[in-house]
């Protein structure tokens, strides 16, 4: 009775072992490893963790463990891309992960899981062994006194730190010199100077007076307008020709301000009678006679004409000197 049961059990285990054999063999064909370049660092120092997997070149693949940016007491500084190399009949996969830690103590890097993929399915997993890293603080000798913070260290000057700036500067300088030389040596074209006819203020004043006369303003009954325009023409002329702010001055002030301008002062009486008449017409509703209208226009023209030779003389002198811009005195 005993023998058949033993035989049955042997057959069962044989069949079980035969059925699982391919899987067991695949796991044994993949070799995973995690290795740190040091097991001892100081706070903030870096440790290079090398993950590697070796496997047959065909029919199998390995999924590397997904390591988060921060785990345990470690932080991932950077990670290299996965590299693949062939060595004989073996395919080698590798990745380097740089870690650091800012907590002192002895910290473990846990066993990392590599998934084995065959025909698109995860068929098995392989684990690396855990690693321990000692993270130490800086040794402080408490028996010694505190030391001041070290002074800022001056870094030595090196030409090669600035060579690019020198190169750019020299290039810009050379280009500028080149452009200057080019434009200087280039034959210049004589630019046509636009001839602007400068009409002297007395000409303008005479034209405006003639215009006012031809418009027959007072003949149409607009006396106030006639005297306003007549005095405005004269005031503008004084302002432009003699730099007297005549537009902002009353008649009496204007008569005071022409005193230093000899050529105008000679016409003072004429100007006074004209301005007085104009004030009466403008501000007192007075209607001067036609003779007075004509007389006012004649006075205005005479004043401008009187100053004309002196103005021309001054303009000629100015053209000769090309300097002085003094009003005619």
Partner 1 sequence: MENTSDIRQLNEKIHQASAFVDLLNLELSKVIVGQRYMVERLLIGLLAGGHVLLEGVPGLAKTLSIKSLSSAINAKFSRIQFTPDLLPADVVGTMIYNQQKNEFVVRRGPIFANFILADEINRAPAKVQSALLEAMQERQITIGDTTFKLDDPFLVLATQNPIEQEGTYMLPEAQVDRFMLKVTIGYPTKEEELHIIRQNLNPQATATINPVVQPSDIITARKLVREVYMDEKIERYILDIVFATRNPEDYKLQKLKPLISYGGSPRASISLALAAKAYAFTKRRGYVIPEDVRSICFDVMRHRVGLTYEAEAENVTSENILSEILNAVEVP
- What CA–CA distance (Å, rounded) separates 228 from 299? 15
Across the beta sheet with 121-127, what order do the strands follow?
Answer: 61-63, 113-118, 121-127
Q: Does 163 bind partner 1 (CB under 8 A)?
A: no
Q: Does 105 bind partner 1 (CB under 8 A)?
A: no
125 or 225: CB nearest partner 1: 225
Q: Does 293 bind partner 1 (CB under 8 A)?
A: no
Taking residues 16 to 45 in sequence order and writing x for each that binds partner 1 by CB under 8 A, - otherwise, the string is ------------------------------
Q: How many CB atoms lie within 10 A of CB 131?
A: 17
Q: Pick one of 173, 174, 180, 247: the residue that binds partner 1 (CB under 8 A).
A: 247
Name the token pair of 15. 């069949």
Shortest Cβ distance from residue 248 to partner 1 (Å)? Answer: 5
Q: Which stretch binds partner 1 (CB under 8 A): 18-26, 181-189, 243-251, 302-310?
A: 243-251
Q: Does 292 bind partner 1 (CB under 8 A)?
A: yes
33 or 228: CB nearest partner 1: 228
Shortest Cβ distance from residue 233 to partner 1 (Å)? Answer: 14
Shortest Cβ distance from residue 236 to partner 1 (Å)? Answer: 11
- What CA–CA distance (Å, rounded) separates 19 from 11? 12
Cα 268 to chain centroid, rounded: 63
77 or 247: CB nearest partner 1: 247
List 32's β-bridge partners, or say none.
53
- What CA–CA distance (Å, rounded) separates 103 from 43? 7
Shortest Cβ distance from residue 253 to partner 1 (Å)? Answer: 8
73 or 299: CB nearest partner 1: 299
Name the token pair of 152. 């800022």
Shortest Cβ distance from residue 316 to partner 1 (Å)? Answer: 33
Q: Kindly identify the residues of this chain, within the stretch 178-237, that bind partner 1 according to CB under 8 A.
A: 228
Shortest Cβ distance from residue 307 to partner 1 (Å)? Answer: 22
Helix (H, G, I), strand (E, B) or coil at 50: strand
Q: Does 89 bind partner 1 (CB under 8 A)?
A: no
- CA angle 87-90-95, nearest 5°? 75
Q: How many CB atoms lie within 10 A of CB 308?
A: 17
Name the token pair of 206. 């005479």
Q: Pick one of 286, 301, 302, 327: the residue that binds partner 1 (CB under 8 A).
A: 286
Name the token pair of 114. 């590599």
41 or 255: CB nearest partner 1: 255
Q: Pick one of 37, 39, 248, 294: the residue that binds partner 1 (CB under 8 A).
A: 248
Q: Pick one of 125, 240, 287, 301: the residue that binds partner 1 (CB under 8 A).
A: 287
Across the beta sheet with 131-136, what order do the strands follow?
Answer: 40-42, 131-136, 105-109
Q: Kindly identify the residues of this chain, within the stretch 255-284, that bind partner 1 according to CB under 8 A.
A: 279-280, 282-284
Shortest Cβ distance from residue 225 to partner 1 (Å)? Answer: 11
Residue 24 CB-half CA count within 13 A: 6
End-to-end CA distance of the chain: 154
- What CA–CA distance (Å, rounded) separates 278 from 96? 103
- What CA–CA distance (Å, rounded) separates 205 from 213? 12
Could you list the residues that contact partner 1 (CB under 8 A)?
228, 245, 247-253, 279-280, 282-289, 292
């Amino acid at each position: 009775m005993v023998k058949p049961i033993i035989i049955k059990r042997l057959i069962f285990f044989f069949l079980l072992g035969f059925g699982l054999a391919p899987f067991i063999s695949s796991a044994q064909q993949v070799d995973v490893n995690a290795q740190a370049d040091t097991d001892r660092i100081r706070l903030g120092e870096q440790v290079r963790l090398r993950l590697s997997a070796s496997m047959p070149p065909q029919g199998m693949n390995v999924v590397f463990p997904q390591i988060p940016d921060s785990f345990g007491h470690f932080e991932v500084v950077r990670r290299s891309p996965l590299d693949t190399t062939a060595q004989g009949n073996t395919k080698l996969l590798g990745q380097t992960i740089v870690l650091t830690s800012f907590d002192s103590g002895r910290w473990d890097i846990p066993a990392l899981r590599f998934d084995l993929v065959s025909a698109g399915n995860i068929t098995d997993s392989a684990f690396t062994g855990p690693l321990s890293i000692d993270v130490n603080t800086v040794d402080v000798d408490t028996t010694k006194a505190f030391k001041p913070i070290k002074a800022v260290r001056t870094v030595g000057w090196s030409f090669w730190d600035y060579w690019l700036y020198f190169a750019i500067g020299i290039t810009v300088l050379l280009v500028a010199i080149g452009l200057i030389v080019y434009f200087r040596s280039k034959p210049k074209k004589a630019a046509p100077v636009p001839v602007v006819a400068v009409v002297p203020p007395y000409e303008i004043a005479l034209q405006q007076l003639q215009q006012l006369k031809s418009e027959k303003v007072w003949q149409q009954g607009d006396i106030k307008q006639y005297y306003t325009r007549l005095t405005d023409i004269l005031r503008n002329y004084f302002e432009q020709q003699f730099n007297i702010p005549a537009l902002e001055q009353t008649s009496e002030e204007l008569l005071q301000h022409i005193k230093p301008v000899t050529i105008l002062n000679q016409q003072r009486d004429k100007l006074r009678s004209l301005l007085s008449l104009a004030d009466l017409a403008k501000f007192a509703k007075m209607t001067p006679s036609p003779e007075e209208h004509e007389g006012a226009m004649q006075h205005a023209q005479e004043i401008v004409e009187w100053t004309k030779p002196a103005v021309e003389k001054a303009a000629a002198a100015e053209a000769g000197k090309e300097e002085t811009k003094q009003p005619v005195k």
